[in-house]
Amino acid sequence: AELGLNEHHQNEVINYMRFARFKRGLCLRTVDSCFQDLKDSRLVEETFTVDEVTDMLDGLRTVVHSEVESELINTTYTNVLLLRQLFSQAEKWYLKLQTDVSELENRELLEQVAEFEKSEFTSSSKKVDTDLIKPKLAPLNEGGSELLNKTVACLQEENEKLKTRLKTIETQATAALDEKSKLEKSLKDLQMIQGDQKVN
């Protein structure tokens, strides 16, 4: 499964998904512990009244609600920080990126991402070994310098081409001036000869 990105950006997505999967696992373990705590602390008797069960479920709901809300808020803030990194890099190059929030609920695209995650994280151990030997990506703040170096190299190459072209034009201009001087001299010589002939 592919996301339609180049290799560098796809690896960045994989790194983010690895981080998100780790956070998701922590959240699920926290929810599991909420239920386990209830079992350990409240389920000590053989029978319970309706009020006691209701009280336990209400307490559990409050704890789980708080944990899930906290994690959702944290996920939102994490995504904002990720967007901030991307936008900051773009602004260094005077780019204005746009997002389409409606695409975030596109079921087809979400399923595509799910397939991508499945193919990347549930493959054989051989796939994992391949991932381990992939070269590390350059830090975010070095990405701009790489692009700048490429731009400078491109401009230098273009500059050399222009210099070569200028030399060619200068050579042609010099040759044209020499030719003009020769023609002018020939014309003067011819005029002098014609003048002498008239005098004679």
Task: Give the span between the Cα atoms of 158 and 60, in whole angstroms.
Answer: 69
Write down the domain spans for the chain: 7-137, 140-200
pLDDT tens digits for range 28-82: 999 999 999 999 998 888 888 999 999 999 999 999 999 999 999 999 999 999 9
pTM over 0.75: no
Q: What is the pLDDT of residues 110-152, one digit of tens each?
A: 999 999 999 998 864 334 444 444 444 445 455 556 776 778 7
Question: How far is Cα 33 from Cα 146, in angstroms, rounded to an integer?
Answer: 47
- Specify the 3-state DSSP secondary structure of 151: helix
DSSP at 103: G
